Amino acid sequence: MKAVVLHRHGGPEVLETAELPDPRPGCGEVLVRVKAVALNRLDLWVRGGLPNLKLEYPHILGSDIAGVVEALGDGVGGVEVGSKVLLQPAVSCGRCEACLSGRDNLCRKYAILGENTRGGYAERIAVPVSSLLPYPEPLPFEEAACLPLTFMTAWQMVVRKAQVRPGEWVLVQAGGSGVGSAAIQICKLLGATVITTVGAQDKVEKARALGADHVIDYKRQDFVAEVRRLTGRRGVDVVVEHVGPATLAGSLRSLTWGGRLTICGSTSGPKAEIHLTEVFFRQLQILGSTMGSKADLFAVLEHVRAGKLRPVFDSALPLARAREAHERLASRGPFGKLVLVP
C-alpha cells in the first residue's frame, strides 16, 4: 500500500511517500480502506518529537479516519465487508476498570492512532473491531473524518469536565481550530452564551456561523478587556483552553469568581506561568482533559445525525501532499479541519 511515513523527527520535510506491505487483520480485527484522514495538531507534535515518545519506524501519522471495511480477521462477526465506517481515534485494553467503566481514555494502555501506534496516512489500516463507529450518513468521507478526535475532546471538556449549563458564559479560545469549532457548537447546544477568539478577520463571520455570539480578533483586540466589556466586568463562567502560555494567563483573568478553565493542549508551548494567588483567592478550577471516552462519540454522532452538530471542514489534499498540509496547519490559516485523501 501507499503511505506517508517518517523515519525521524523534524519538520515537514521528514514526511516521505513509501510503499509498505498491506496490513493483515489479526484475530478480532478488521482491515479498513482509508478514504479520508483528517489532520490534528497532534500530527505536528509527533512529527516534531514529544517527550518520552518512542516510535516504531517507519511511523504513520493520522488519528481521524473514515473508510470502508475491506476484510475481516478471525472471530469477527456482525460487520459486513463494504460497510462505511468511522474509527475511534484510539485503542485501549478493553479489560481494565477504566475501560469497563466507560473511561477508556484513562486506560494505562490507551494508545492514540498516529501517536503511540500507526495511524491513517495510508491506504489501509487494521484496527480492533471495537474501534468501529457507525458512519454518520449522509456526510462525505472528507467531512466525516473531521469528527472523531476534536469532537470527543471538546465534548469531554465542555460536558464532562466544565459541565457547562444553560445561561452560562463561555470563552472558547481559537474558534477556528478543530477543538475550538467543535466546542462552540457544543456550548450552544447546551444553551450557553459563547465568546470566541480568532486570529484573522476572514474567520469572524465563520465563527458566528457556527453559533458564536461574540467574536474577538485577538490580533486587533485585547481579548481579556473585550471579555470584561461583554460580560459587564463579571467575566465568563468557563474557558475552553488549548493554546497554552500565549493565552493561559489572560484566560484565567477572563474568568468570574469560581470559574472553571478546562485545557486539553498547549499549541504555543509546554510551560506557562500563573499566579497561584489568583487561582485560590478567586477559587478558580483548572481541569486537565485528554481525548474523551468512546461512549461520548456515540452521543456526538447522534447529534450529528440530528443536524445539531456538524464537522467543520476546510479543505482536502491528496495524501502525497502531506508536507503541504502540515505547513498549512502550522500557519494557522485553515478554519476547521484539513483532510488528506489517499
Strands 2-5 and 90-91: unpaired
Average pLDDT of the residues in 313-323: 97
Task: Provide the number of structural domains found in the chain.
Answer: 2
Average pLDDT of the residues in 99-113: 95
The answer as to whether 158 is a domain residue is yes
Q: What is the pTM of this model?
A: 0.95
The answer as to whether 88 is a domain residue is yes
Is the domain of 55 the same as that of 169? no
Is the domain of 143 the same as that of 89? yes
What is the domain-level CATH number for residue 133? 3.90.180.10
pLDDT score recorded for residue 49: 92
Number of residues in the chain: 342
The answer as to whether 171 is a domain residue is yes
The answer as to whether 299 is a domain residue is no
Is the domain of 164 the same as that of 62? no
Mean pLDDT of the chain: 96
| Residues 236 and 170: beta-carbon distance below 8 Å | yes
Average pLDDT of the residues in 162-172: 98
Beta strands in the chain (DSSP E): 2-5, 16-19, 29-38, 64-72, 84-87, 90-91, 111-112, 124-128, 132-134, 169-172, 193-198, 214-217, 236-241, 255-263, 285-288, 313-318, 337-341
Is the domain of 141 the same as that of 158? no
Is the domain of 217 the same as that of 325? no
pLDDT score recorded for residue 228: 97
At residue 50 the predicted structure's pLDDT band, cuts being 50, 70 and 90, is confident
- Residue range of the domain that includes 237: 151-288
pLDDT score recorded for residue 262: 98
pLDDT score recorded for residue 202: 92
List all residues 6 or more positions away from 257 whose beta carbon is below 8 Å from its beta carbon.
Answer: 235, 282, 283
pLDDT score recorded for residue 236: 98
Average pLDDT of the residues in 146-169: 98
Is the domain of 134 the same as that of 167? no
Average pLDDT of the residues in 98-104: 94
The answer as to whether 298 is a domain residue is no
